[in-house]
Chain A
Amino acid sequence: QSVLTQPPSASGTPGQRVTISCSGSSSNIGSNNVNWYQQLPGTAPKLLIYSNNQRPSGVPDRFSGSKSGTSASLAISGLQSEDEADYYCAAWDDSLNGPHYVFGTGTKVTVL
Chain B
Amino acid sequence: QVQLVESGGGLVKPGGSLRLSCAASGFTFNDYYMTWIRQAPGKGLEWVSYISSSGGTRDYADSVKGRFTISRDNAKNSLYLQMNSLRAEDTAVYYCAREREGGRFDYWGQGALVTVSS
**B-binding residues in A (CB < 8 A):** 2, 32-33, 35, 37, 39, 44-47, 50-51, 56, 88, 90-92, 97-106
Contacts and interface: CB of A to CB of B under 8 A. Distances in A.
A2 B106 CA distance: 21
A101 B35 contact: yes
A44 B102 contact: no
Interface of B: 35, 37, 44-47, 50, 59, 61-62, 95, 100, 102-106, 108-111
A50 B98 CA distance: 14
Contact of B103 (A44, A45, A101): A101
Given A37-B45, A103-B45, A105-B44, A90 B108 contact: no
* Residue from A2, A50, A88, A98 whose CB has the most chain B CB atoms within 10 Å: A50
Given A45-B108, A103-B46, A106-B45, 13 more contacts: A33-B103, A37-B45, A39-B45, A47-B106, A50-B100, A50-B104, A50-B106, A88-B45, A90-B47, A90-B103, A100-B59, A101-B35, A102-B47
B62 A44 contact: no
SS of A interface (majority): strand
B34 to A, nearest CB: 13
11 contacts: A32-B102, A35-B102, A37-B45, A44-B95, A56-B106, A90-B103, A98-B59, A100-B47, A100-B61, A102-B47, A105-B44
